[in-house]
Amino acid sequence: MVLDLRVCFIGESFVAGVGDQKCLGWAGRLAARAIAAGQPLTYYNLGIRRENSTELRARWEAECGPRLPEGADCRVVVSTGVNDTQFEDGRPRVDTEDSVRNLAAVLRRARERGWQTMVVAPPPNIDDAHNARIVALESRYAELCEDAKVPYLRTHRPLRENSVWMREVAAGDGYHPGAPGYDEFAALLAPHWLLWLADPGSELPVVR
What local confidence, expressed as pLDDT, does residue 202 receive? 47
Integer Cα distance of 111 and 92 in angstroms: 29
What residues are paired with 43 via a beta bridge? 7
Query: pLDDT, tens digit, for every residue of 98-119?
Result: 999 999 999 999 999 999 999 9
Integer Cα distance of 129 and 13 in angstroms: 20
> Would the pLDDT of 18 be above 80?
yes
The full set of domains in the chain, from first to last, is: 5-198 (3.40.50.1110)
C-alpha gyration radius of the chain: 16
Cα within 13 Å of Cα(158), Cβ side: 14
Classify the phi-psi angles of 177: left when phi > 0, otherwise alpha if psi is within -120 to 50, otherwise beta: beta
Q: What value, to the nearest 5°, has the Cα angle with vertex 80 and ends 76 and 84?
A: 155
Q: How far is CA 41 from CA 5, 25, 70, 143, 202, in A?
A: 5, 17, 16, 30, 19
Q: What value, to the nearest 5°, has the Cα angle with vertex 120 and ends 178 and 32?
A: 60
What local confidence, expressed as pLDDT, does residue 3 receive? 81
What residues are paired with 118 via a beta bridge? 77
CB of 80 closer than 8 Å to CB of 53: yes
Query: pLDDT, tens digit, for every residue of 117-161?
Result: 999 999 999 999 999 999 999 999 999 999 999 999 999 999 999
What local confidence, expressed as pLDDT, does residue 193 receive? 98
